[in-house]
């Protein structure tokens, strides 16, 4: 199924995100214009997409969902992985310093692996991780590297293996969460610890738990490597 993929030329990638501010009140105090835009667009966006939480206050919606949109969220950790020819896995994470510091290090890495003709790999990477990184780089005054898809990149030109697309076999329907795919393929799921994507915002701002967030992000990358290796070796 992945006969044309060189797994030693893949950069496995996952990001963890939180809201741009700890609370909606912090946003109002520090960036009134963005707060007004949240009130006009972000709040209604999440009420439409998560009808089950429509009764939540705007502050509660912000804490629960703002990390999902790069316009109101920020990157708190990026983990990457490489699979060496001898089968050894190498993992690296960027989670120290400001968001801009993290993104600068990632930009440098993307330039290096692009020069080595690597392809990116992640779960739902085309719809979430890559556009999120591109937008947050622009917001932080960083020129996104050419390995990230741009406005004029054709779908077949994107240098990324998306394991969600791989699992869906060309369909836009069906169940395809990373936890489910791992479970069905007999791969250890990264979603069994205390830190999960749904509580990254709290873990980052309230618990100041960047080490556990990093470990969680690296488990995602490790699972990606296992999925690709298992499918390729069938």
Per residue in 59-88, pLDDT (tens digit) is 999 999 999 999 999 999 999 999 998 889
Sequence spans of domains, the chain: 7-20+72-232
Half-sphere exposure of 10 (CA within 13 A, CB side): 28
Q: Is the pLDDT of residue 193 over 70?
A: no
Q: What is the pLDDT, as a whole number, of residue 215?
A: 94
- Three-class SS state of 192: helix
Rounded Cα distance between 33 and 40, Å, is 11
The whole-model pTM stands at 0.95
* Residue pair 133/15 in contact by the 8 Å Cβ criterion: yes
Q: Is the pLDDT of residue 195 over 90?
A: no
Radius of gyration of the CA atoms of the chain, in A? 18
Over range 2-29, report the average pLDDT: 96
Which structure tokens are listed for 204? Answer: 């980052």
Residues listed for the chain: 234
Q: Is the pLDDT of residue 120 over 80?
A: yes
Q: What is the pLDDT, as a whole number, of residue 170?
A: 87
Q: The domain 7-20+72-232: what is its CATH number? A: 3.30.420.10
Over range 158-164, report the average pLDDT: 96
Q: Scanning the structure block, which residue is given the tokens 């939480």?
A: 53
Question: Percent of the chain scored above 90 by pLDDT?
Answer: 88
């Amino acid at each position: 199924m992945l006969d044309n993929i060189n797994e030693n030329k893949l950069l496995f990638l996952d990001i963890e995100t939180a809201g741009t501010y700890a609370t909606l009140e912090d946003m109002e105090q520090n960036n009134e214009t963005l707060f007004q835009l949240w009130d006009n667009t972000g709040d209604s966006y999440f009420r439409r997409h998560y009808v089950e939480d429509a009764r939540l206050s705007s502050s509660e919606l912000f804490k629960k969902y703002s990390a999902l949109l790069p316009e109101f969220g920020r990157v708190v950790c990026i983990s990457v992985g490489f699979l060496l020819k001898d089968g050894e896995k190498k993992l690296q994470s960027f989670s120290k310093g400001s968001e801009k510091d993290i993104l600068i290090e990632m930009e440098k890495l993307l330039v290096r692996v692009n020069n080595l003709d690597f392809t990116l790999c992640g779960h739902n990477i085309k719809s979430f991780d890559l556009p999120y990184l591109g937008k947050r780089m622009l917001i932080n005054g960083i020129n996104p590297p050419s390995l990230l898809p741009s406005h004029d990149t054709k779908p077949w030109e994107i240098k990324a293996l998306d394991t969600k697309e791989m699992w869906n076999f060309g369909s836009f329907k069906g169940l395809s969460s990373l936890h489910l795919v791992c479970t069905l393929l007999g791969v250890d799921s990264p979603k069994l610890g205390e830190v999960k994507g749904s509580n990254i915002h709290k873990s980052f701002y309230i618990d100041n738990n960047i080490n556990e967030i990093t470990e969680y992000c690296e488990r995602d990358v490790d699972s990606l490597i296992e999925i690709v290796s298992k499918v390729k070796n069938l």
